[in-house]
Structure 1
Amino acid sequence: MIDDFAKEYLHSDLREIRETMLWKLDGLDEYDIRRPLTATGTNLLGLVKHLAVSESRYFGEVFGRPFPEPLPRWDDTGARGTDLWASEHETREDIFGLYRRVWHHSDKTITDLAVDAPGHVPWWPRPNVMLFNILVHMLTETNRHAGHADILREQLDGATGAAAEYTNMQRDAAFWAARHAEIERAAKAAVERA
């Protein structure tokens, strides 16, 4: 049986990882939060924007409670992928503000509805869901993108950690260089053994 304890537990974790996503951009300049850091263009501000749009859909229209601001529709093929990066006209504050407004809207849906409240996700193969399913999905999705953000941030300035109070910057560059060399040696040795 799914109960309110499960709902609150998942909701609490979602609130925490949302904050982590924004923290991953702290201290970085405009270029570094926007620039493509992978071959497919993944970037930190785009991850935040994507999560805002996704969460607005999942806790909004899935439960007949659409987010009150205009966003691209999930079935608009012309807008596909535009939620993964920020245009030059969208500021960090715009996207952070949108994400926080989405949180407020989502939190109200989560608070107002029972954990087994029915929803409908037309783009899923099994579209009939409960609030519980969407909580798990959005927690998983947000954590997945937080992992992407971890790696992107580490590539930019070496900062790692799950939150400001748990950063891994207390070790110096010499420690990380030695660790990197140790892992490289192990990788080469494994290839030679094979």
Structure 2
Amino acid sequence: MSDDCVKAYLHECLRWVREAVLAKLDGLSEYDVRRPLTPTGTNLLGLIKHLATWEARYFGEVFGRPFPGPLPRWDDEAERGADLWVTEHETRAEVVDRYRRVWEHADATISALGIDAPGRVPWWADPDVTLFNILVHVLTETTRHAGHADVLREQLDGVVGLDAESMVPSGRRAAFWANRRARIERAASAAELRAGVSSSASPPVRPQR
């Protein structure tokens, strides 16, 4: 497979998963896209803000093509984690628009450079990279956060799906998932009971003399 084919394939995968993450916001209130849904505060709009910040950085300054907009410093402890949540003064439209502008900037970098074009990531232990390394890294990170978004959205209203087309709510699908969940719950409870019975049936361990 040629280098151009590899780059095109990775780029297309990245384009698809970006849209999939954004689709998780569709139909939700301002509160629900921002509300913390894990003990560490993970939230849907914060994931978008985080992805925008780091994609801008990886396809920007890493290749000497800085994104034309302010970014928090990566080496400032006071800024650490600020990209993972959205204040009441930031609108959903602003966060989403910024992510889309980051896509345009990143796409231009990907199109302009060869897959072996050199870059430098100063916050990595081994900072010398190529466009291939960064494409794989950003695709991996975006896919990982897409999985987080899948679970967060399901917690909010039960809507599931890999992309906007497959996220259409359906009473029939809701019944299917309710039955599936009940079946898994029964299996988990039975396994717990079985483990308890097995443990109580084990003979006592005699002390060594």
Which range moved further: 122-131 or 109-118? 122-131
Q: Which has the larger radius of gyration?
A: 2
Question: How far, CA to CA, are the matches of 2:34 and 2:59 in structure 1?
Answer: 27
Question: How far, CA to CA, are the matches of 2:166 and 2:102 in structure 1?
Answer: 26
Please state how far the C-alpha of 1:174 moved relative to its aligned partner.
3.2
Please state how far the C-alpha of 1:169 moved relative to its aligned partner.
3.4
Please state how far the C-alpha of 1:168 moved relative to its aligned partner.
6.6
Question: How far, CA to CA, are the matches of 1:168 and 1:161 in structure 2?
Answer: 8
Question: How far, CA to CA, are the matches of 1:24 and 1:52 in structure 2?
Answer: 15
Please state how far the C-alpha of 1:125 moved relative to its aligned partner.
1.4
The amino acid of 2:110's aligned partner reads: I
Question: Normalized against structure 2, the TM-score is what?
Answer: 0.89
Question: Normalized against structure 1, the TM-score is what?
Answer: 0.96
Corresponding residue for 1:164? 164
Corresponding residue for 1:177? 178
Aligned length: 194
Taking the TM superposition and a 5 Å limit, the aligned residue runs for 1:97-136 are: 97-136=97-136
SS in 2 for 1:129: strand
Q: Deviations over 1:115-136 (max 9, x none)?
A: 0000111111111110000000
Q: Gaps (5+ residues) in structure 2?
A: 196-209
Kindly indicate whether the alpha-carbon contact (under 8 Å) linking 1:2 and 1:116 is maintained by their aligned counterparts in 2: no
Please state how far the C-alpha of 1:175 moved relative to its aligned partner.
2.7
Q: Gaps (5+ residues) in structure 1?
A: none
Which range moved further: 123-132 or 44-53? 123-132
What percent identity do the matched residue pairs reach? 68
Question: How far, CA to CA, are the matches of 2:114 and 2:144 in structure 1?
Answer: 26
Question: How far, CA to CA, are the matches of 1:149 and 1:11 in structure 2?
Answer: 21
Corresponding residue for 2:154? 154
Please state how far the C-alpha of 1:38 moved relative to its aligned partner.
0.5
